[in-house]
Amino acid sequence: MVGKFFQRPAGPEQERVPPGQYLTKGFPVLSYGPTPKVGKDDWELRVWGLAETRRFTWADMMALPHQAFTADFHCVTRWSRLDAHWRGIRVLDFMAQVCLDAKATHLMQHCYGGYTTNLTLDDFLRPENFFAFELLGEPLPPDHGGPLRLVVPHLYAWKSAKWINGLEFLDHEELGFWERNGYHRRGEPWAEERYDN
């Protein structure tokens, strides 16, 4: 994997690359299964479980505040992409619209295509987390999760659900697709929480 496109980190960037990761200047696509085709007219994001049940349309999302943000992205397969420029909706701004049950402690992200991945509420409700709809100045390409994906920069990128269409709030931990298949339940890259639970 080390070669022209994957470099061992050097200089000041080194401090920003978690252990065991290699830098890439590009932005690889990593999907399990085909890219779902979802038009913005049919698109929706559902909220259920330990929260008031809601359906957000594309227009509902576009009515929320938008922000540009820059984030590093670390895939557990060992590539890291620093300083990706995104645009999206801050999770905290979105969640101001959601009436959560006080018992909620965890959530499951659901996606078009059937992918799932779990988070604790603490890992979700952080100011650096976004629902992104633009990448590098373009509408988020379908392969990268368009029309909308989550970006959770402090955890390995499998926690950043592409084509997200549901948030299920829970009072206990359930495991998502990769977590049931041997990935770590939390996935913190600086602690190299890769495969063992």
Ligand X SMILES: Nc1nc2c(c(=O)[nH]1)N[C@H]1C(S)=C(S)[C@@H](COP(=O)(O)O)O[C@H]1N2
Find all residues with CB under 8 Å of 21, minimum gap 6, and list them. 9, 74, 78, 79, 80, 189
Measured between alpha carbons, how far is 182 from 197 in angstroms, rounded to an integer?
A: 8
Judged by CB under 6 A, the chain residues 63 through 82 that form the site for ligand X are 75
- CB 96 within 8 Å of CB 52: no
Judged by CB under 6 A, the chain residues 116 through 145 that form the site for ligand X are 144-145
Token readout for 150 is 């989550």
Judged by CB under 5 A, the chain residues 16 through 35 that form the site for Mo ion are 30
Measured from the CB atom, the residue of 61 and 157 that comes closer to Mo ion is 157
Q: Which stretch binds ligand X (CB under 6 A): 43-51, 56-64, 154-162, 185-193?
A: 154-162
Token readout for 57 is 């349309």
Q: Which of 23, 38, 47, 75 binds Mo ion (CB under 5 A)?
A: 75
CB neighbours of residue 159 within 10 Å: 27
Q: Which of 5, 8, 32, 85 binds ligand X (CB under 6 A)?
A: 32
Q: Which of 158, 169, 178, 183 binds Mo ion (CB under 5 A)?
A: 158
Min dist CB 143 to ligand X, Å, is 6
DSSP 42: T
**34: preceding bond cis by omega (within 30 degrees):** no
Amino acid at 71: A
Residue 116 phi/psi, 5° resolution? -135, 155
Min dist CB 101 to ligand X, Å, is 26
- Longest CA–CA span in the chain (Å) reads 50
* 178 scored as a contact of Mo ion (CB under 5 A): no
Q: Which stretch binds ligand X (CB under 6 A): 47-55, 96-104, 121-129, 156-164?
A: 156-164
Q: Which of 21, 118, 129, 160 binds ligand X (CB under 6 A)?
A: 160
| Among Mo ion, ligand X, none, partner that 115 touches (CB below 5 to 8 angstroms by kind) | ligand X
Residue 123 phi/psi, 5° resolution? -75, -25
Using only C-alpha atoms, the chain has a radius of gyration, in whole angstroms, of: 16
Token readout for 10 is 């050097």
| Among Mo ion, ligand X, none, partner that 111 touches (CB below 5 to 8 angstroms by kind) | ligand X
Binding-residue pattern over the window 99 to 118 for ligand X, x denoting contact by CB under 6 A: ------------x-x-x---
Binding site for ligand X (CB under 6 A): 27-32, 75, 111, 113, 115, 144-145, 157-158, 160-163
